[in-house]
Homo-oligomer: A and B are copies of this chain.
Amino acid sequence: MPYDPSAFPPFAVTVDLVVLTVRRHALCALAVRRGEPPFQGRWALPGGFVRADEDLAQAAARELAEETGLRAHDPSVPVQDNGAHLEQLATYGDPKRDPRMRVVSVAHLALAPDLPAPRAGGDASNARWAPVDELLQQGGYGRDGEPVAPLAFDHAQILADGVERARSKIEYSSLATAFCPTEFTVGELRRVYEAVWGVALDPRNFHRKVTGTPGFLVPTGGTTTRQGGRPAQLFRAGGATLLNPPMLRPEV
A-side residues, CB < 8 A to B, are: 1-3, 5, 7-13, 36, 47-56, 88, 90-95, 98, 100-102, 104, 106
- Residues of A contacting B: mostly: loop
Residue of B nearest to A92 (CB): B56
Asked whether, in the complex, the Cβ of B47 is within 8 Å of the Cβ of A1, the reply is: yes
Within the complex, which residue of B9, B12, B48, B51 is in contact with A51, where a contact is CB–CB below 8 Å? B9
Asked whether, in the complex, the Cβ of B1 is within 8 Å of the Cβ of A52, the reply is: no
Asked whether, in the complex, the Cβ of B54 is within 8 Å of the Cβ of A7, the reply is: no
Least Cβ–Cβ distance between A200 and chain B, in angstroms: 20
Collect the chain B residues with CB atoms within 8 Å of residue A90's CB.
88
In the complex, A221 Cα to B3 Cα: how many Å?
Answer: 51
Collect the chain B residues with CB atoms within 8 Å of residue A88's CB.
90-91
User: Can you identify 13 A-B contacts, CB atoms within 8 angstroms?
Assistant: A1-B48, A3-B36, A3-B98, A3-B101, A5-B100, A8-B13, A8-B49, A11-B50, A50-B104, A52-B95, A55-B94, A88-B91, A93-B106
Within the complex, which residue of B10, B100, B104 is in contact with A106, where a contact is CB–CB below 8 Å? B104
Residue of B nearest to A105 (CB): B91
15 more CB-based (< 8 A) A-B contacts, given A7-B49, A55-B95 = A1-B48, A2-B36, A3-B98, A3-B101, A5-B100, A8-B13, A9-B51, A11-B12, A11-B50, A50-B104, A56-B92, A88-B90, A88-B91, A91-B91, A91-B106
Residue of B nearest to A46 (CB): B1
Please indicate which of the listed interface residues A36, A51, A93 has the most CB atoms of chain B within 10 Å of its own CB. Answer: A93
Residue of B nearest to A63 (CB): B1
Collect the chain B residues with CB atoms within 8 Å of residue A94's CB.
55-56
Least Cβ–Cβ distance between A137 and chain B, in angstroms: 22
